[in-house]
């Protein structure tokens, strides 16, 4: 009981600090180009207007960057509205489009402009690889019919911006959007990975959360310090990782759960916490089960199976919902 009380107080402190600190890096992440610049997608460009903008951008890219980028976005919108909608969600484009990003948008348009989107395009279709990748990029930005942004589409944009896109080999190099995303994410360092809110928004599937946890976090024995401190230091214990993962899953629109077990360990009685997603048939997919390395398992049919997975073969003394779940 005393141990529970100590953990409770420590987690209250850690959570409050986490909440306060995260406010400092919170931007306006909900705005997108569809909402802030609806005219981009409603405008119609004549052939003469398009030629004038292209000539202007070639002669003076800085001056014509916005006009050129908006025209390319309009072209993409005409070709595939859902794809353009996903582009409009990318935070990279919502803080102002620079010249390099405008050129990248043009490359993206070149990638999709000759694709013939049909309801029936099997694997024998000559454009099947591109159609599959484009549809995957769109799907990666939608959960439960609610739009969020697509991490694979963002990874595609980064690939182009970093000068590593080769249209001749792209389809053979990346067979699916998850492979594309995790390959581009490999180092996960630099300015793209320093904003807590942006990273949480980016981690919007169980597979990507699992990948991020295993790549970034190290186990740290000691009191919980909260999800934000875990993010800043890359060190924490199972409670910190469970709450971090749960925040990402909730932002992505999933039904989530968090579960704790107390086990009889050779080094004494220990607590272990995990979190996950409640899937459509009310089974439990355990996404964050961290003990130095992360394990993803399930879907489990019942809570006993979840507890057993969290215990890792150790004797379960008791188990509870959440870790002082009212704090979240």
| pLDDT tens digits for range 177-186 | 999 999 999 8
Helix ranges (H only) for 2-96 are 2-23, 33-36, 39-42, 47-59, 61-79, 81-89
pLDDT score of 71: 93
Give the pLDDT score at 165: 92
As a whole number, mean pLDDT of residues 147-158 equals: 89
For residue 146, name the pLDDT band (cuts at 50, 70, 90): low
**CB-neighbour burial class of residue 197 (10 A; exposed 0-12, middle 13-18, buried 19+):** middle
CA–CA gap between residue 94 and residue 30 (Å, rounded): 10
> Tens digits of per-residue pLDDT, 32-42?
655 656 567 77
Q: Tell me the per-residue pLDDT of 285-303, one tens digit each, with 9 for 90 and over.
A: 999 999 889 999 989 999 9
Which tens digit of pLDDT belongs to each residue from 55-111? 999 999 999 999 999 999 999 998 888 898 888 889 898 888 899 999 999 999 999
In the predicted structure, residue 198 carries a pLDDT above the cut 70? yes
Asked if the model's pLDDT at residue 236 lies above 60, the reply is yes
pLDDT at 171 over 50: yes
**What is the rounded CA–CA span in Å between residue 180 and residue 190?**
19
pLDDT value at position 125?
Answer: 54
Read off the pLDDT of each residue in 236-251 and give the average, rounded to a whole number: 93
Percent of the chain with pLDDT over 90: 48
Strands (E), 48-182: 142-143, 146-147
For residue 320, report the phi and psi dihedrals to the nearest 5 degrees. Answer: -145, 160
- What's the mean per-residue pLDDT of the chain? 82
């Amino acid at each position: 009981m005393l141990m529970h009380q100590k953990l409770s107080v420590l987690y209250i402190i850690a959570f409050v600090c986490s909440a306060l600190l995260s406010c400092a890096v919170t931007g306006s992440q909900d705005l997108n180009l569809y909402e802030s610049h609806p005219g981009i997608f409603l405008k119609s460009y004549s052939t003469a207007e398009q030629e004038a903008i292209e000539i202007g951008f070639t002669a003076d890219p800085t001056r014509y960057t916005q006009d050129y980028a908006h025209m390319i976005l309009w072209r993409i919108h005409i070709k595939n509205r859902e794809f353009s909608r996903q582009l409009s969600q990318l935070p990279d484009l919502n803080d102002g489009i620079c010249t390099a990003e405008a050129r990248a948008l043009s490359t993206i348009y070149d990638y999709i402009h000759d694709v013939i989107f049909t309801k029936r395009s099997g694997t024998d279709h000559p454009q099947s690889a591109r159609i599959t990748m484009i549809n995957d990029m769109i799907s990666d930005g939608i959960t439960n019919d609610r739009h969020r942004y697509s991490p694979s589409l963002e990874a595609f944009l980064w690939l182009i911006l970093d000068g590593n896109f080769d249209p001749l080999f792209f389809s053979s190099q990346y067979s699916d959007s998850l492979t594309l995303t995790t390959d581009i994410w490999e180092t996960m360092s630099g300015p793209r990975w320093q904003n807590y809110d942006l990273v949480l928004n980016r981690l919007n599937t169980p597979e990507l959360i699992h990948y991020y946890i295993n790549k970034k976090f190290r186990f740290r024995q000691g009191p919980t310090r909260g999800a934000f401190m875990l993010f800043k230091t890359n060190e924490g214990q199972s409670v910190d990782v469970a709450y971090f993962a749960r925040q990402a899953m909730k932002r992505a629109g999933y039904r989530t759960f968090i579960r704790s077990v107390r086990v009889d360990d050779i080094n004494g009685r220990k607590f272990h916490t995990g979190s996950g997603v409640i899937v459509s048939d009310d089974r439990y997919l355990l996404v964050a089960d961290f003990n130095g390395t992360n394990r993803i398992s399930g879907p489990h049919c019942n809570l006993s199976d979840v507890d057993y997975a969290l215990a890792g073969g150790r004797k379960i003394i008791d188990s509870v919902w959440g870790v002082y779940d009212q704090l979240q």
